[in-house]
Structure 1
């Protein structure tokens, strides 16, 4: 049999589903897989996106690189996609991202000026219908600006993106890998409300701490006289002082 023989369309889709799940589970980049399998990244990308079918030769190389069997993949694997996020969100599997699900104390500097810290709750969980992680904020003083949206987890950077898309208006938090004690530190890019209907692009540090690790969490505007101010402000200072994010010019 020629190595250039294409797999049947349904089997090729099943193979693509298995590969995306393996990449998400191993947190492996597509470039690394292409390098390990000695195929071009273009060939891999086109096959995973459905623009072309996997060939037998390519499938064998991928099996060797991943040390798994792909040719036994059934079309039913594609039906397992409810447990797999779409490609534009990183094609991660629920099993590989369950560690991220939960409720988080969320901290950022107050936009009202001064030294206050603004604290609220962010819940992250799996949406069965959409087949990806979603987030939703709560316990905000400014409830009208509560955000919700999709969670993106691309293998390439290993970062976590919380993205709101409200009729084309975007707001995004970019979070790094969890620290050794589980905190998620990063940057929030949003719009600050000014006078009247004026909105100004703004970026600031943001921290997510699993609520299970927080004793008696406090929400709202936490000023310097609050008992938990030192702990909360310490997280934000750590983000800036230890290089979790960088603003230019520095």
Structure 2
């Protein structure tokens, strides 16, 4: 039976800590530098090296990738090959492995209310895929009628909340989408929090329901501003209403 949270044994942790200390001394690098390269907090690294907490498999893999050496040994002392570089997302995004989130990858039709016409629905495509350079899932929007506002960014999948976060950060300006884990048929529902562009440079915070439908679930997807005359309008409206009717998200009155 595996250790809780993939924790390594006390003896394995002791051996790994010794190897890491040797590598740090040999390379004349600081623990802070190693923590940054491995995308770990300095506190996590210090506690593990000091024996105050065991190493986990995920932490060990990150340290192997940062140092370029195998820290784990098989019983016959043969080195165990580390995971392929880029298989673990940063702690700030949930420290998920690529294999654990493969089911999220794909192209979705994204729906939200139109900000310019209260009776219409705004629809566009969103692709979620693994990015080896970022070592995480990323998303990128496409086929937006307002192409100048096309967004892209990182995808956080923390275990604690059970929700998925699509985060855009451009020079400190954020847009956040919070959605549920996919239903059995793959849809995700939640809230988009962004800025509404008004006249001139006027910007106003705005929140609205949002839905992601796997593109394979829509026979002939429509994009752009969808009015009641569009063949997909009823389907799109049904999914947007599901966000608040089930509810996947709540909007409280002021």
Question: Is TM more than 0.5 here?
Answer: yes
Counterpart for residue 85 of structure 1: 89
Deviating above 2 A after TM superposition, structure 1's stretches of 4 or more consecutive aligned residues are 3-13, 45-49, 54-60, 70-77
Task: Determine which structure has greater relative contact order: mean sequence separation of CA pairs < 8 Å that are 6+ residues apart, divided by chain length.
Answer: 1
Identify if the C-alpha distance between structure 1 residues 71 and 176 changes in structure 2 by more than 3 Å, giving closer, same or farther: same
- TM-superposed CA distance for 1:9, in Å, is 3.2
C-alpha separation in 1, matches of 2:195 and 2:127: 21
- Number of corresponding residues: 209
Counterpart for residue 108 of structure 1: 112
Counterpart for residue 127 of structure 1: 131
Return 5+ residue gaps in structure 2 as ranges.
1-9, 22-39, 58-70
**Where in structure 2 are the equivalents of 1:197-208 lying within 5 Å?**
197-208=201-212
- TM-superposed CA distance for 1:177, in Å, is 1.3
Identify if the C-alpha distance between structure 1 residues 237 and 217 changes in structure 2 by more than 3 Å, giving closer, same or farther: same
Identify if the C-alpha distance between structure 1 residues 151 and 47 changes in structure 2 by more than 3 Å, giving closer, same or farther: same
- TM-superposed CA distance for 1:46, in Å, is 7.2
C-alpha separation in 2, matches of 1:239 and 1:176: 10
C-alpha separation in 1, matches of 2:104 and 2:224: 24
C-alpha separation in 1, matches of 2:250 and 2:117: 21
- TM-superposed CA distance for 1:114, in Å, is 2.4
Counterpart for residue 45 of structure 2: 50
**Where in structure 2 are the equivalents of 1:126-165 lying within 5 Å?**
126-165=130-169
TM-score, normalised on structure 1? Answer: 0.74
**Where in structure 2 are the equivalents of 1:168-247 lying within 5 Å?**
168-247=172-251
C-alpha separation in 2, matches of 1:145 and 1:10: 51
- TM-superposed CA distance for 1:113, in Å, is 2.6
Counterpart for residue 41 of structure 1: none
Kept in 1, the 8 Å contact 2:47–2:53? The answer is no
SS in 1 for 2:183: coil
Identify if the C-alpha distance between structure 1 residues 249 and 158 changes in structure 2 by more than 3 Å, giving closer, same or farther: same
TM-score, normalised on structure 2? Answer: 0.73
C-alpha separation in 1, matches of 2:115 and 2:206: 9
- TM-superposed CA distance for 1:247, in Å, is 1.3
Kept in 2, the 8 Å contact 1:59–1:71? The answer is no
- TM-superposed CA distance for 1:80, in Å, is 3.8
- TM-superposed CA distance for 1:47, in Å, is 8.6
Kept in 1, the 8 Å contact 2:48–2:54? The answer is no
